[in-house]
Amino acid sequence: MKKQVNKILFISAALVVSLAGCQNSTKVVSTQNSGLTKDTSKFLSQPLVTDIYTADPSAHVFNGKIYIYPSHDIDAGIPENDNGDHFDMRDYHIFSMDSIKGKVTDHGVALSVKDIPWAGRQLWAPDAAFKNGTYYLYFPVKDKKDVFRMGVALSKSPSGPFKAEAKPIEGSFSIDPAVFTDDDGVSYMYFGGIWGGQLQRWKDGQYDANGSKTDSQKEDEPALSAKVAKMSADMLGFDGAVKDVQIVTKEGKLLLTKDHDRRFFEGSWMHKYKGQYYFTYSTGDTHYLASAIGHSPMGPFVYQGTFMNPVQGWTSHHSILEVNKKWYIFYHDTQISNKTHLRNIKVTELVHNDDGTIKLIEPIK
């Protein structure tokens, strides 16, 4: 009998070792707020992860668990510039939590830039989706000509590891993919980002490598828009044309470039609340988070207002998620490092007002 137990123990240990060898390694990285030594009192909420730098959190519930798909910030020693070269990220880690206040598990490296056949550099803000038994990780990375494109990688597990497709998504460009799946099962990708995200360099489907580093529109012209495309049934490409995400005033006028506090800059997200489509985003070089509501996932969207004031740090990037009938915003700031490119992800509650606006969140007290 003892021999049998020993044999079972040996087989189990061998299995654990071999599984560990073929999967990304998993470890609990925080019970939230542990490991912080500096004064934390001025911040609305505390970092979810403190042992590596994380940013741009896209959160989803898969199989009853919360999964976070963030960027993995590193200090590559590259000086700051308007191209965003200092954001030189090289891989993704995926995190999970059983509940909003629960412990945070790091599932290890899920995808590396070196394993993406067409990639050059800079793995920026990702998102994930699930369809027909497969998880899809969508990511922006510069190709070998230094042009941002969107890629997709597949896995049978929400925590990866993910395997990248051989080529970028046809017709994709710029950064910050956010994939929303509607109640009818149709998915849409929202994307785009100005300055380092290169959106201003694209005109009529053509990339201008000598184009402006910053906003290229005239101040009195309609602002550059985020983009939206319907996803193909296999989730690997776009089905139809890429369209502008139109954000209009209550009078139906497109927001203008000079309207820095309201116009789009980067960091799109989409969620559905009480049958309405909420397009949320970071505003033109002022970095408020703003919301706009539409009756269709393709828009147009009527501007509703700011719902989060700027965080500490130059960038603002978020996702919005319902967990057990309550709504939350995942976001980042630079609490731990106080450096633009070394950020940490956070979560706090989000409240929808009856008039369609979202209650203002003050990330710094």
The residues of the shown chain that bind ligand FUB, judged by CB under 6 A, are 55-56, 71, 87, 124-125, 175-176, 193, 266-267, 315, 317
Catalytic residue among 73, 106, 215, 266: 266
CB of 281 to ligand FUB, least distance (A): 10
CB of 228 to ligand FUB, least distance (A): 17
3 state SS of 199: helix
Which is nearer to ligand FUB, 141 or 302 (by Cβ)?
A: 141
Rounded Cα–Cα distance for residues 83 and 215 (Å): 12
Which is nearer to ligand FUB, 86 or 107 (by Cβ)?
A: 86
Closest among 251, 140, 228, 121 to 182, alpha carbons compared: 228
Position 309, amino acid: N
3 state SS of 170: coil
CB of 80 closer than 8 Å to CB of 195: no
CB of 327 to ligand FUB, least distance (A): 21
Which is nearer to ligand FUB, 57 or 297 (by Cβ)?
A: 57
Which is nearer to ligand FUB, 172 or 302 (by Cβ)?
A: 172
CB of 193 closer than 8 Å to CB of 242: no
Q: How many CB atoms lie within 10 A of CB 272?
A: 14
CB of 344 closer than 8 Å to CB of 334: yes
CB of 316 to ligand FUB, least distance (A): 7
Label residue 145 exposed, middle or buried (CB < 10 Å: 0-12, 13-18, 19+): exposed
Rounded Cα–Cα distance for residues 6 and 8 (Å): 5
Rounded Cα–Cα distance for residues 237 and 206 (Å): 19
Catalytic residue among 56, 73, 106, 176: 56
Note if 266 is an active site residue. Answer: yes
3 state SS of 349: strand
CB of 176 to ligand FUB, least distance (A): 5
Rounded Cα–Cα distance for residues 339 and 293 (Å): 33
Note if 56 is an active site residue. Answer: yes
Please give the biggest Cα pair distance in the chain: 83
Supply 185's token pair.
Answer: 């099962």
CB of 124 to ligand FUB, least distance (A): 4
- Write the DSSP symbol of residue 17: H
Q: Catalytic residue positions?
A: 56, 266
